[in-house]
Each structure stands twice: as C-alpha cells, then as structure tokens.
Chain A
C-alpha cells in the first residue's frame, strides 16, 4: 500500500537512531545525515506530487481505544517535514565535526534522530492522540538534549525548566484535544476540522481553544513562557540550532496553524494570538538587544520570530497566512545558519561575546560568507526570501482586525531590531579590525561550513525561483492553514508603494539602532527591573511554592508516627464505610434465623471475649494474643457455617500473624505497656468503635439484600464438567479466575521482595549507626508523634 510510505521516514529515523548508537562513533553522524537526507528526498517527492488533499496512510490506529490513527502529509505538514529533514541533514553533518572529540557524541546523535522521528510524527499525524504522543516525545527528547552536558548544573536546571514548562503545556494541549474529540466524535484530525460547526456549537469550544493555545504558547515560547528558550541554550550548539530555532519551538506554531481553519473567525482566537504574538515579538526584540552572548541573542530573536509568527496567524487573513508560512521558512533558514556560525565562532575563537568579537572576516572568510548570507535574509534585503516575508508581513498587518496600529508599529520596531541584530551578528563580528581572541580563529572543515552556506544560498535560491516556490510549497501550506486557496501571488517586486517605503524605513531605523547598539545595550542591561520582574522569577517562585507544598503535605501525612498512620487509615475507612450508608439511607438488617440456644453462639462468644480482652490488655503481647483469639473464633464461625476452605486459610493466617507480630514486638524497642494519655485513648476508642460499627453495618446491609446466586450456581454447575474439580472454591481460584490469582500471587511476591528490601536496608543502616541512635531511627511508637530523623 503506497500511502503507508509516510511511515517510512519515521521508522527510518527510529531505526537509524538505534543503529547510530551501535556503529563506530565516527560513522554515526554520517548515518544520521543519510537517514535525514533520504527522508528529505522522500518528502520532497511526495509534496511535489501531492494534490490538495495530500497523502494519507492508515497507520497505527488502536480501534479498541477509539484512536483512528493514520498519517497525512498535506501542504502544511509537507513544509515542516522538509524543514525538519533538510535542516536535520545539515545539522548531522555539522555535528560529526563539532563533536568529533566528544566520546559521548553517539548518544547525542541517537537523541537527535529520535527527536527527528518525533517531529516527523507530530507534523504528519492525522490523529490528535498520535499528535499528542509525538508532541510529548519532542519535549522528552529536548529534555535529554538540553541536559546533554549533565555535569553542568546550569544545563540540568535548563533541561528541567524546559521539560516542566513544555510538559505542563502538553497536558493542557491533551485536555484541549480531548474536548475537541468529544465534540467531534472522532480522534482523526481531518475529521475534527470537518466537524467545525459541531465543535464550535459545543459549550466546551472556548475551553478547548484556550487549552490548546496554552500548550502551543508554552511550546513556542510565547510570553509569559518565553524564559525557558534562552535557558535551553545550555544545549550543544547543533541542538540549539535544530530544536530551539528551526524545528521544535515551531511545533506550537504548527498546531496553531493546524487548528486555524477550526477557530478562524472566533474573535477570541484572533485577539489572543495577535495580542500575545505582539507582546512576545516586542519582548524578544528588547531582550535580544540587551544580550551579548551570541547564542542568547539568537535565542531572543527566536522568541521575537515566534511572536511574529503567532501575530500573523492571529491576523489570519490569506495574506497574513502566506506571510507567516514564508517567514517560517525564512526564519528556519537564517536562524539555523546563524546558530551554526555562532557554534563555529565559539569553536574557533573560544568566545561567544558579541561585544568582544570583531573583524573575524579576514581569518574565517567562508564563515563570514555564511553568516552574511543569513544576516541579509534576516534583515530582509532583496533579493532574499526574507525581503519577501517582510513585505508580505507589512502588507498583511495593514488589514489586521485587532490592534491594527499597535501591530503595525510593533512589527516595525521588531523588524528594525531584527535588522540591527543581523548587523551586529555579521558586520560587527566579521568586518573591521580584528580584536584579540583566546584562540586564533580559522575556517572550520567543509562539513561544518556546509550548513550555513547551503542555508544561506537556499534563502537566495528560494526567492529567485519564486513563482515555483510559492505554488509548490507555500500555497499548499497556506491552503491547508486557511482551509481554502489563498489567492495570494507573492512576488519580490511590487513597485514603489507604501510597503516598499516601510521596508526602506525599517532598514534605516535598524541601521541607526545598530550604530547606537554599543551604548544602547549596556543601558538596557542596566535596567535590572527586567530581571527582577521577569518571568523567570515567576517560574522560580512557582517551583519554590511546589517544594513547600510537597514538604507540608509530606510532613502532614508522612510524619513517621505509626499511631498517627493507623488513626488516619482507620478513621478514613470508618468514614468511607459509614458516611455513604448513613447519608444514602442504605442501613438495613437481615432476617435472623438462629434459635437462642444454638450451640454456635459459643463461637460468637469467643469473638466477643477476644475483642474485650484486646482492649483490656496491659501489654502489647497480650493484646496480640487476644486479637488472635478473635481470628480463631472467626475461623470457627466460617467452619460452622459451611466455608471450610476459608476457615482453613483463616486458621493458618491467624497463626502466622500472631507469630509474626509477636516476633516483631519482641525485636523492636517499644514500650511494652500502654503509654497513651487519657485523651488519646478516647480518640482511639472512638475511631475503633466507628470502624467496627462501619464494617458491621455494611455487612448487615449487604446480607439484608436478596442474594444473587447466578454466579455461584454457574460455578457449582460447571466446576466438575469444565474443570475436573469437586472443590468449587479451589476451581475458581486456579481455573475460572486463574488470571486474578496470578495477579494476586504476583502482588504477594512483590510485597515479599519489598519487605525483604526494606528490612535489609534498615539492617544495613543500623550497622553504620551507633546503638543509641538505632532505636530513634527505626520505628518510633511513643506518646507523641515524632518525625523520623531528618536529613
């Protein structure tokens, strides 16, 4: 079946991910690059041949769970898949040289391939459950990739931060998707988009939209969740280039674009996207102008770009959508290229400080060329694709429905800032007189240069081949985002109109900003209020609050006092038994058949005597014996009333319990007599009476109901016929309900292992401790609850 070919790149990425961990270390990046290139070629062919509906492959559905499954490649998914595999190929080539001295590089390659798999799955999934699974896999892969240098505290913290933010958003996304599924009656993405009326009519529509947006905003680093992205720069540079600029952070954009046809026209959708997008774009630009570290500058401009994309999706007109998709591609090209050159500069000079790097162009001309091409596209100069994106953006924003003036001015400022930063990253770093660096700079090997140069040339070629680029890739993607053809025909040259003047003004403003950057940047950095009231502080506070909450709940529930545990357990059990019975009015008593002289009353007498003796016992040992008497009397009752198997088991269990508890009591240092105060005794008595009354009441109420004998009749009838046994109880245990029994003995065995582990670890700990502390550390059963020793 041909359409199942869509599963091929995903499986290929998975298989090569496993293989990359096993082949010799030098070969694994090459293998990965090959896998990515094959995927890229495949997607290129498929998207070239796709019609409006795209390719569909029924793959990996779980009908029993109502998951339709399936992969689909349409225009939107096609653009993303091409970016993922295409940039992936270049990244793998780069990684091979960048990490050639790192003994763990195979691990990185494997993780990157698994990440690629997850991304491809996410953008080609035609099922929201599948989409969610792959979405979460990208978060997980990102966690391991950001934390790759796991010996650095900063990297570990950044990885955790990225994981917490994106996974929390992922949960919101899941909730939103499930609401959509409920309203649409299918998990299939195309089915959900087709059920637009039903979904929007459902009362959950707004909640679903907000939840999905929350997921997208965390993933795509929108304000106020933007802080995790710059922290994620603790990852190795190829990872930052791949995940945190070109692909993963765009997944939120992808999902927003995916659901655009569904929510387009809803005022709240446009309002939120426009507002948050604008805020994010401005925040990112200001923070980018404030940073000096090359990677941080790039990270903040990525935040700005993601904000711009959200803003454009929020405007939602055909022009805006085409602008968004064009800018998506433009940004992926120049940002990956600039990240890779930043990595090269870092590698070659040992510096990443934009303030101290000057005039590298003479020593590393090819790197300068790569960075220059990327910067030209970033600044939006003709004839690069970036120019087209900016023109479309300006054109789209003049038709914005919300914040039209705000959006226009904001976008102008953001673009001017982008121009300034493009100049910093190219002109300032490469041109002029060379400044001293820790290492002597030099051009890297070809494999590392291939990425920046290829991406730079691509943004030129894509613009020059314009009608084809637009009709083949941009228009199908825009049509998928809009739900209809866009009717926009992008061209580089529009004649001398307002938009062109706006573009020129942007360049001028950007260049002025660049000129004052050396004084502007320190001034901005001195505004420490940005750090003080930044979102990072909010994250830290939330995390701190969570720790406090966890500690408080642990101290409340896990206080270490056995008496406290038992009070809580039995109190809760009593409440659970009694409250529903009393509140629900289910209390009832069965008819009573025993004559008053019946000899079997003696067994009940044993029960009562044992119970009373247990409460009167002066030492724990006597109490155990008394409780044992209760158990034996119960066993006798079972026997007298025709349940020999149960009676038998009860006898054995009682014996074992009595012996085990007595042995334990003899070995742990607890006072043998009762040390409770009067008030505590009263509370305990109340809990005990309530629990006993609850159990009795529920048993009596159950017995008062007519007995349904269908099951027992069936078992009695078939015990011998089907299972060759006369003893129905045992036949049920080993045959009719064998799977249950298997589960029970597994639990039993696990409990046994658990007890052994606990006792042994306790023994090992006692071995290291002086005898005086042993008693305190083991179990405390005193008059007051004392918390187990703190560490």
Chain B
C-alpha cells in the first residue's frame, strides 16, 4: 500500500518542524518542561513519520549517520560531560557552569547541556535503530 500524496508531501515539513521543536524542547529543558528524553522522543516521532511516508531508505539518508552511531555518540557525550568535573577535582558528573554576560543578564552554559544532548542523541538513535530495522523488507 502506497502512502497518500498528502502524506508524502507533508513528510518533509513535518520532519523539519519536529526536529526543530525537539531541539527547542531539549534546550529549554533545564528551566521548563522538556529535556533530552522528551526531545529525543519528539524527534524520533518525526523521523518515524518520515520513514512511514517516504520509506526507510529516505529516512536513513536524512539521518546521514547510522542510528546505532547516534546511540554510541550519545552515550559517549554523556560519559564525557562528567570528565571536566574529574579534571577539576570534583566528583564525576558534577556539572560545571560558565556564565557568559549577555546584554542585561548572563547566559549559563554548563556540561549539563552536553549530558542532555547525549541523552537526546541516544534516544533518537535507539528509536530509529529499532523502527528502521523493523520496517526493513
């Protein structure tokens, strides 16, 4: 059964929106509802939708890297985010922060974000790895 024209046409914009929205959710996660887990799931839903309407092959091409690579990269990023604390003599995974002056306020940037990105990538990778292999013909 071939997906409908509407579905196939809307696949790309929906993927873009889902990924952008997931990034927004990921970044705001520290202060409002969101974070790596939810962000990763939302991006995963977007890719799933794309894969259903345009096929596994196109979805893999849009991903550019193998889903399992995303998993590995995610775990490694999360692992690495704890290393600065070790170097500074703190406990592993004690997140470190930099405060960048920005206009009136300041922008806190920390290793926690790196950790959350790791979570995000792992979730996307796992969802895609499972699903894109399930629909393999």
Contacts and interface: CB of A to CB of B under 8 A. Distances in A.
Interface stretch (B5-13, B57-65, B128-136): B128-136
Contacts of B35: 645, 727, 729-730, 733-734
B26 to A, nearest CB: 10
B131 to A, nearest CB: 6
A53 interface: no
A724 B116 contact: no
A745 B31 contact: no
B38 A649 contact: yes
A394 to B, nearest CB: 67
Given A656-B44, A726-B31, A738-B115, A749 B75 contact: yes
A659 interface: yes
Contacts of B134: 660, 663-664, 667, 759
A730 B75 contact: no
A49 B78 CA distance: 56
Given A733-B35, A752-B71, A656 B95 contact: no
Contacts of A763: 136
Contacts of B131: 656, 659-660, 663
Contacts of A730: 29-30, 34-35, 116
A477 B119 CA distance: 61
Interface in A650-680: 652-653, 655-656, 659-660, 663-664, 667
B103 interface: no
A723 interface: yes
Interface in B17-50: 25, 29-38, 41-42, 44-45, 48-49
A727 B31 contact: yes
Given A656-B48, A751-B126, A742 B78 contact: yes
Given A735-B112, A738-B115, A760 B133 contact: yes
Nearest to B95: A735
Interface in B60-108: 67-68, 71-72, 74-75, 78-79, 82, 92-93, 95, 97, 108
Quick one: which of A733, A751, A763 has the most chain B CB within 10 A?
A733
B136 to A, nearest CB: 6
Contacts of A726: 30-32
A749 B133 contact: no
A756 interface: yes
Q: How large is the interface on A (under 10, 10 to 19, 20 to 34, 35 or more residues)?
A: 35 or more
Given A724-B97, A724-B108, A755-B133, A749 B74 contact: yes
A763 B93 CA distance: 40
Given A667-B135, A726-B31, A756-B68, A745 B38 contact: no
Given A652-B38, A663-B52, A667-B134, A753 B30 contact: no
Contacts of A723: 95, 112
B79 to A, nearest CB: 7
Contact of B34 (A727, A738, A749): A727
A518 to B, nearest CB: 71
Nearest to B132: A756
A512 B8 CA distance: 99
Nearest to A750: B71
A760 to B, nearest CB: 7
A739 interface: yes
Contacts of B108: 724
A745 B110 CA distance: 20
A656 B38 CA distance: 12
Contacts of A663: 52, 131, 134-135
B123 interface: yes
B114 to A, nearest CB: 9
A648 interface: yes
Contact of A648 (B38, B67, B97): B38
B47 to A, nearest CB: 10
A742 B118 CA distance: 9
Contacts of A558: none
A753 B95 contact: no
A597 to B, nearest CB: 29
Given A645-B38, A659-B52, A738-B95, A745 B45 contact: no
B130 A752 contact: yes
A746 B95 contact: no
A727 B78 contact: no
A745 B78 contact: yes
A19 B131 CA distance: 48
Given A652-B38, A655-B45, A738-B95, A749 B33 contact: no
Contacts of B30: 724-727, 730-731, 734
A541 interface: no
A742 B93 contact: yes
B41 A656 contact: yes
Contacts of B97: 724
Contacts of A733: 35-37, 119
Contact of A745 (B75, B127, B133): B75
Nearest to B119: A745
A724 B110 contact: yes
Interface string A748-777: 110111011001100100000000000000
B118 to A, nearest CB: 7
Nearest to B120: A745
Contacts of A746: 75
B126 A752 contact: yes
Contacts of A724: 30, 97, 108, 110, 112
A317 B82 CA distance: 63
A734 B113 CA distance: 8
Nearest to B113: A734
A739 B74 contact: no
11 contacts: A648-B34, A648-B38, A649-B41, A729-B33, A733-B35, A734-B119, A738-B82, A745-B78, A745-B119, A748-B126, A749-B75
Interface pairs A-B: 4 shortest CB-CB: A652-B41, A752-B126, A749-B71, A644-B33
